[in-house]
Amino acid sequence: MSATTGRSDAELRATTGRRQFLNDRDDFVAEALEGFALAHPQLVTLHRDPDFLRRAPAGRRPGKVALVAGGGSGHEPLHTGFVGVGMLDAAVPGRVFTSPTALQVAAATRAANTGAGVLHVVKNYTGDVLNFRIAAEIAADDGVEVDQVLVEDDLATDPAVTGLDDGPGRRGTAAVVVVEKVCGAAAEEGAPLADLVALGRRTAKRSRTLSIALTAPTHPGERLPSFDLPEDEVEFGVGIHGERGVGRRAFSTAADLAEQLVTPVADAIEVQRGDAVLAVVNGLGSTHPLELSVVFREVVRVLEARGVRVVRSLVGSHVTALDMAGVSVTLTPADHDLVRLWDAPARTAALTW
Amino acid sequence: MVTPPQRPPRRTTIAAPERLELLHDGTPVPPVRGGRAADLDATRVRAWWVGFSEQVRERAEELTELDRLAGDGDFGHNLRAAVRGADARLDRTRPGDVSGVFDAVTQAFLDTGGTSGPLLGMWFREFSRATGATLSTEDLAAAARAGLDTVQRLGGAQLGDKTMVDAMGPAADALQDAAHAHVPVVAALGAAYRAAADGARGTEALRARRGRASYVGDVARGVVDPGALAVAWFFERGTVV
């Protein structure tokens, strides 16, 4: 109950809750895809029925292993924003927070294949894993060689933390950007499928992420967020689908909150004094770049105190959960090879250098 | 004044778990020797599919209710969307062979999200692969066995995990027996239906270990798995073509 207005919190949110730019919620993703393709005609081509985005003809490379990634919509710029030279060949978006269909993935896989095989980059969610596996089988029957890198970096859902040994395992979150970047670069250099699989799996295996939310996301066409959070608490260990995290913690300063993310992640990847890491500070949807910069400054401070150098970084909102306010921190040990592939040119809507 | 056409009486009722018992009469299927003439052609398989599709469209709420009790409540909705997609594809492509009918169904199910729809799609895909112009008991037995293997491989469920596998497995066994005994197709489908319905009914007592229902643990006890029930419905509609 608000002391000043006398209205319940629910009433307040119903009147002051999120508004969205939206025509019809059923067409929301399709219209967004159309707009994205219109905005980047030099980078992407939109394929309809089944829906997927692939590189515009100018970016296609004959004989290169193709990278195809996908998942539910609502995480933009992931994956559509990473289609282009140096990263993905095709992205397959499902409905909001829903896996793309096997038919969509199979069609994108066939379209992207140049004869050198296709690498699927998949975040660990039951629907995504199943539909990419089915698509790989169907494509294999059509003579397309397909292999998969599964990204499962979310420390909050690690069986060692949750105690669920036969559960679905760690969720796939922001480390997927690192995998798409380095595998994309290696594919551009002409690496064969088997090498890309090994590189992707090594990178995914060594990466861990932890996230905090300040507000829950609001689904398209909804006014209320998917869970309520008191003003003095944060949701710790959230995923990227508006589900509850592993626990509530006290809201605090950026320094304090960043430390709660970095320390367990650094421990989990077992970085030692003198080691180098790639650090990804990722906004979860509606966190301002200034806040992300403040968080990144704290990440560097905590790691330096441990004697760990941040040799490369990515700071921005790249793997979002609709309009969730929050941040995730991903660390990947950075060897010479990873840094070289990270630095290789990329020309996509969301990442270009 | 126009009199609406009389709906034919529904032949069986199997949706409600307690009524499943009444239908499982346990009557052995008489082994009748049937030649290739007894095999189903595309027209009859299409009629089988239409029967199943109508049943799903009319009674999706029953599946949704079961799923609401033991899962996330979207199964009936997703299955109805999938059969609608299959009907649209069949109307558009009008396949002339049995394999083509099942292929259209497969494509529609693989075009749905979630996990149950695509798994059923891969199950139907084995029916498309095992058949040609017509469908024999031997084809059915091969399809049901391969379909079971595929669903288990992709979904990871074992018998007793309270999933669609609990209907698919007994149906595959029953069809294998029917093939050995040279039972004609429609009678074999009856045996498959009884085995699948029995398996579906058996899921009532099970605690889910796979699928969405596994998240709710003991809450799902006492509820028939809607995926298993849908598989029983599918075979049931094959007995009246």
Got the DSSP string for A206-273? H-EEEEEEEE----TT-SS-SS---TTEEEES--SSS---SEEEE---HHHHHHHHHHHHHHHTT--T
**Amino acid in the structure at residue A125:** Y
Q: Is the dihedral of CA B117, B118, B122, B124 positive or negative?
A: positive
- A84-85 vs A325-333, strand pairing mode: unpaired
> In angstroms, how far is CA A329 from the centroid of its own chain?
12
CB atoms within 10 A of CB A344: 16
Yes or no, beta carbons of A101 and B111 under 8 Å apart: yes
Contacts 24+ apart (CB under 8 A), B16-19: B16/B62, B17/B201, B17/B204, B17/B223, B17/B224
Output the six-digit token pair for A249.
């913690």
d(CA A6, CA B184): 74
Dihedral angle computed from the Cα positions of residues B221, B75, A148 and A78, in that order, rounded to the nearest 10 degrees: -120
Stretches where chain B sits below pLDDT 70 are 1-37, 71-72, 209-220
Least confident of A106-120, A181-195, B194-208: B194-208
The beta strands (E) that lie in A252-335 are given as 276-283, 309-316, 325-333
Query: Number of C-alpha atoms within 13 angstroms, CB side, residue B107?
Result: 16
Q: Specify which residues A92 forms β-bridges with.
A: A70
Yes or no, beta carbons of A94 and B113 under 8 Å apart: yes
Contact between A241 and A285 under an 8 Å Cβ cutoff? The reply is: no
Separation in Å, CA of B138 to nearest CA in chain A:
24
Contact between A184 and A343 under an 8 Å Cβ cutoff? The reply is: no
Query: Number of C-alpha atoms within 13 angstroms, CB side, residue A23?
Result: 6
B202: Cβ contacts below 8 Å, ≥ 6 apart? B166
The answer, yes or no, to whether residue A185 has pLDDT greater than 50, is yes
Q: Does A140 touch chain B (CB under 8 A)?
A: no
pLDDT value for B6: 46
Least confident of A27-41, A215-229, B99-113, B119-133: A215-229
Q: Is the dihedral of CA A150, A155, A158, A160 positive or negative?
A: positive
Q: Which helix (H) or strand (E) holds B11?
A: none
Of residues A101, A133, A138, nearest to B112 (C-beta): A101
Q: Where residue A7 falls among pLDDT bands split at 50, 70, 90?
A: low
Of residues A95, A106, A134, nearest to B113 (C-beta): A95
N-terminal to C-terminal alpha carbon distance within chain B? 33
Which chain B residues contact residue A134 at CB under 8 A? Answer: 110, 118, 121-122, 154
Contact between A105 and A79 under an 8 Å Cβ cutoff? The reply is: no
The answer, yes or no, to whether residue A16 has pLDDT greater than 80, is no
* Alpha-helix runs per DSSP H in B111-239: 116-130, 137-155, 165-180, 185-202, 226-238
Q: Specify which residues A236 forms β-bridges with.
A: A212, A247
pLDDT value for B216: 58
DSSP A48: T
A352: Cβ contacts below 8 Å, ≥ 6 apart? A84, A346
Q: How far is CA A329 from CA A171, A304, A308, A314, B216, in A?
A: 14, 15, 15, 10, 31
pLDDT value for A268: 97
A8 or B229, which is more confident?
Answer: B229
pLDDT tens per residue across span A308-335: 999 999 999 999 999 999 999 999 999 9
Separation in Å, CA of B117 to nearest CA in chain A:
10
Yes or no, beta carbons of B110 and A101 under 8 Å apart: yes
Say which of A79, A120, A219, A241 is annotated catalytic.
A241
pLDDT value for A48: 97
Minimal Cα distance from A104: which residue of B?
B111
> In angstroms, how far is CA B160 from the centroid of its own chain?
18
Q: Which of A198, A192, A199 is nearest to A116 (CA)?
A: A192
d(CA A282, CA A331): 11
Q: Specify which residues A93 forms β-bridges with.
A: A71
A219 or A263, which is more confident?
Answer: A263
Yes or no, beta carbons of A138 and B112 under 8 Å apart: no
DSSP A319: S
ω into residue A288 within 30 of 0, thus cis? Answer: no
Q: Which of A247, A210, A241 is nearest to A226 (CA)?
A: A241
A244: left (phi over 0), alpha (psi -120 to 50) or beta: beta
Yes or no, beta carbons of A127 and B113 under 8 Å apart: yes
A positions 82-101 inside 8 Å of B (CB): 94-95, 98-101
B positions 177-236 inside 8 Å of A (CB): none
B142 or A169, which is more confident?
Answer: B142
Which chain A residues contact residue B129 at CB under 8 A? Answer: none
Q: Which of B135, B165, B134, B163 is nearest to B147 (CA)?
A: B165
Q: How far is CA B211 from CA B99, B163, B192, in A?
A: 29, 7, 24
Of residues A101, A106, A138, nearest to B113 (C-beta): A101
Q: What angle do CA A107, A113, A115 make, to 5 degrees?
A: 140
With pLDDT > 90 as the criterion, what percentage of chain A qualifies?
A: 86
B224: Cβ contacts below 8 Å, ≥ 6 apart? B17, B20, B66, B200, B201, B203, B204
Q: What angle do CA A248, A249, A251 make, to 5 degrees?
A: 125
Which chain A residues contact residue B217 at CB under 8 A? Answer: none
Tell me the average pLDDT across A344-353: 98
A157 or B11, which is more confident?
Answer: A157
pLDDT value for A167: 78
Output the six-digit token pair for B173.
């066994």
The answer, yes or no, to whether residue A1 has pLDDT greater than 60, is no
Average pLDDT along chain A? 94
DSSP A26: G
A219 noted as active-site residue: no
Separation in Å, CA of A95 to nearest CA in chain B:
9
A167 or A300, which is more confident?
Answer: A300
d(CA A157, CA A53): 30
d(CA A176, CA B206): 37
Domain annotation for chain A: domains and CATH numbers: 25-205 (3.40.50.10440), 208-334 (3.30.1180.20)
A75 noted as active-site residue: yes
Q: How far is CA A140 from CA A65, A144, A192, B2, in A?
A: 15, 5, 17, 55
- A52-55 vs A66-73, strand pairing mode: unpaired
ipTM: 0.84
Q: How far is CA A307 from CA A194, A267, A312, A337, in A?
A: 35, 13, 15, 21
d(CA A137, CA A131): 10
Which chain B residues contact residue A133 at CB under 8 A? Answer: 154
